[in-house]
A and B are shown apart, each in its own frame.
Chain A
């Protein structure tokens, strides 16, 4: 197991390096420059290029970037917060985004599991149908519509929650955004839990346990849930990363200074360094999540661990 983990970590680092290179190439393909503005003259544009070293060939810029990156220097922003060190810009924002993402994931997992298990246990009854309809609504209504509905009814009409993000009460003011974000993971997890659970409940070993007279809930917890969890963990990893990507719209609506919004601005304003840095952080999170998922796999299902040595 240890050897397997070590190997996975090394490969992940190599993957990350390739990703940075690809990101760099992509940014180079991006038309336009970070400095385009109606009011800039040609001469000034050239000056700006020189100042930020953008006049150098791509490959040289790549190695300079890599070298700086190892020292924690992610460059400066060209357009969003001019001349700000990107590492500083990200530091403050990453925590907030991760908090929203994690809260949404917790909400989503709990609600999703409950809905899914309920539906599976009451397969083909009205409860099952209700759970299905709920989760379908969850995937069919865009998160920004949910967000605005929550805002309008819970915060604006009932005044139970703050409308916008508030630095003074970060957790409380992040509940609504997290709920809005959790709608789609809830639905996804509920669907998977239900279908996996039905499969498992119909399997021979559960029927055997049942025939031995074990009480219903014990079957679920001890046997069914464990086997249901494998595919759910598979979807949870990507869901978490998707949450962080999808959060930019939510961040916009609730006025949250998060990293999702930063990345979108970076792309739109051609702020290369910001885009690369934010993308890199997403890649890092993604790779780490995948790593954890793979390791968790081994824990929940010993067969995989054995197979992988």
Chain B
């Protein structure tokens, strides 16, 4: 009998110890030992995991932020989102605004190689190379880049098809970061997969990376501005991947984390806490309405071709109320272009202020439009609302709120929750846009309304899932980007303002719902985290008091 017991227990312990615990050294005191340095180490909560450190492959916010920590592009963004020189010592722009010449400063990769203009040329070509299969290859086209070339080690020349107000800022975007060709080719498939398979030319170096757990950065003494950084900024920044908001908050309150993201449920109790902020992200959540695709199979989509029915949806939503229930810093969407994305080239007024709130809540109007629509159709309208179930609690709540408001207006709404990948698959070409109304989102890639306006032109088959087709809208967007607007920023701006009104108010093809917020608490002892709603959040300039 004893033998059996021993056997069982040894078996269990063997499994336990042989596998992970064995190499632990519990004698080292992880709490007490590092008090001195711990004061200067900043620990950031990463609510979503780090997916890739390859600048051509990365597509998510966490990866972009990590890349920005340890890689320097031609330009970088300052706290206000203005482009400032980084690897470029100086930039010249021709008077027509079409040619940019970047002069690369003397800088080194972490293996000692100099950073040259060829590194940029190689990296940009690599993004475009079909073999790389970069998700962001299109961004070079969006940026109106005609050609780019390293004329010598120190000079990088970029030619644009049309003048672009946002091009310089875009060079701070990780997809445009330089790569050391020799190193990348030497590493082959292994490139970027661990700290030893990466080169750094940014202010920090990645010193540790355990996927799913944490990644750490320490100041890079070879950075061109290293002296300045060493004097001002945190010597070590640790990112800890924590998904669960409740344990993350406890960890913060115990002083083991310096930032923590809050869920809507946690905001009420923490609003007064020192360091609490409501940052606004650039993510715009909107309803895309299927009004032209797959209408033969979907009764709901067929009904939505009716303009009155769509107007009913536009007026039915009480966006203020939805944002209040989400309670995570989100705000009601005033239009498809989010607050803080872009400002008028002449007056400097925010796009949102210039165009005003184009979405209004008017339950009476909604009911009226619905009634009119039903009269025209001859039957009540039943629609299915497609939304993502793995994209955060706010989305599920928002979907339920939208359902409630639409039902108040007279609709019958069935919710159809799917994981994000499948939601996009259903709404995409692969399934011939098999949906009625979908709650989806778009995050801006650069600080210009174009990043939203391009989505809904009739030629954009990848994003215009609802099959919206309006000559007026197409014309306005074309005029802004390829027509008169090319050389007249004011006209371009006016076209975009008009285009948004056409899209949202006149045609109600897209119904904006809310602009996502990010309630969080930041340790009052640290400052300098820069949130850029239209670009990458930067943790480069963290100051520890």
Interface residues of A (CB under 8 A from B): 31-42, 44, 47-48, 51, 79-85, 88-89, 92-96, 98-99, 101-103, 105-106, 109, 148, 151-152, 155-156, 159, 163-172, 174, 221-222, 225-226, 229, 252-255, 257-258, 261-262, 268-270, 292, 299-300
Given contact pairs A38-B441, A47-B133, A109-B8, enumerate 9 new A-B contacts (beta carbons under 8 Å): A42-B461, A168-B28, A170-B20, A171-B21, A226-B1, A255-B247, A257-B212, A268-B390, A268-B419
Q: Is the CB of A36 within 8 A of B425?
A: yes
Q: Given the interface contacts A99-B20, A222-B1, does A37 sit within 8 Å of B424 by beta carbon?
A: yes
- Chain B residue nearest to A76 (CB atoms) is B189
**Nearest chain A CB to B198's CB is how many angstroms away?**
13
**Cβ of A41 and Cβ of B211 under 8 Å apart?**
no
Residue contact B250 to A163, C-beta cutoff 8 Å: yes
The 3 closest A-B pairs by CB, nearest first: A95-B20, A257-B212, A102-B16
- B210/A159 in contact, CB under 8 A: no
> Which chain A residues border B461 with CB–CB below 8 Å?
42
| Residues from 278 to 311 in B contacting A, C-beta threshold 8 Å | none
Query: Complex formed: what's the CA distance from A226 to B3 in Å?
Result: 12
Residues in chain B within 8 A of chain A (CB atoms): 1, 4, 8-9, 11-13, 15-17, 19-21, 24, 26, 28, 30, 49-52, 54, 57-59, 130-131, 133, 135-138, 189, 192-193, 210-214, 240-244, 246-248, 250-251, 253-254, 256, 390, 419-422, 424-426, 428-431, 440-442, 445, 461-463
Contacts A32-B419, A226-B1, A262-B212 known; A156 to B254 CB distance under 8 Å? yes
Assembly CA distance A292 to B133 (angstroms): 46
- Cβ of A151 and Cβ of B16 under 8 Å apart? no
Inter-subunit contact A83/B52 (CB<8 Å): yes
Find out whether the CB atom of B422 lies under 8 angstroms from the CB atom of A32: yes
B59 contacts A39, C-beta separation under 8 Å: yes
Query: By the criterion CB–CB under 8 Å, are A82 and B54 in contact?
Result: yes
Task: Give the residues in chain A near B49, CB-CB below 8 Å.
Answer: 80-81
Most buried by B among A102, A106, A169: A102
The distance in angstroms between the C-alpha atoms of A37 and B251, with both chains bound, is 32
Q: How far is the CA of A178 from the CA of B257 in the complex (A)?
A: 23
Contact of A36 with B12 in the complex, beta carbons under 8 Å: no
Q: A80-B49, A156-B254, A255-B247 are in contact. Are A51 and B242 (CB under 8 A)?
A: no
Q: How far is the CB of B355 from the nearest CB of chain A, in Å?
A: 23
**Complex: chain B residue closest to A102, CB-CB:** B16
Inter-subunit contact A81/B20 (CB<8 Å): no
Q: Is the CB of B253 within 8 A of A156?
A: yes
Nearest CB of chain B from residue A142's CB, rounded to whole Å: 14
Give Cα A34 to B133, complex, Å: 14
Separation of A183 and B189 alpha carbons in the complex (Å): 44
What are 15 contact pairs spanning A and B, CB under 8 A?
A38-B424, A39-B136, A47-B130, A81-B51, A83-B54, A83-B57, A109-B8, A148-B247, A163-B247, A170-B21, A170-B24, A252-B243, A255-B213, A261-B212, A269-B420
- Whether B133 contacts A82 by the Cβ 8 Å rule is no
A81 and B52 contact, Cβ closer than 8 Å, known pairs A163-B254, A255-B213, A257-B210: yes
Shortest A304–chain B CB gap in Å is: 14
Task: Point out the residue from A38, A42, A103, A155 that lies within 8 Å of B440, measured CB to CB.
Answer: A38
Are B52 and A106 neighbours in the complex by a CB distance under 8 Å? no
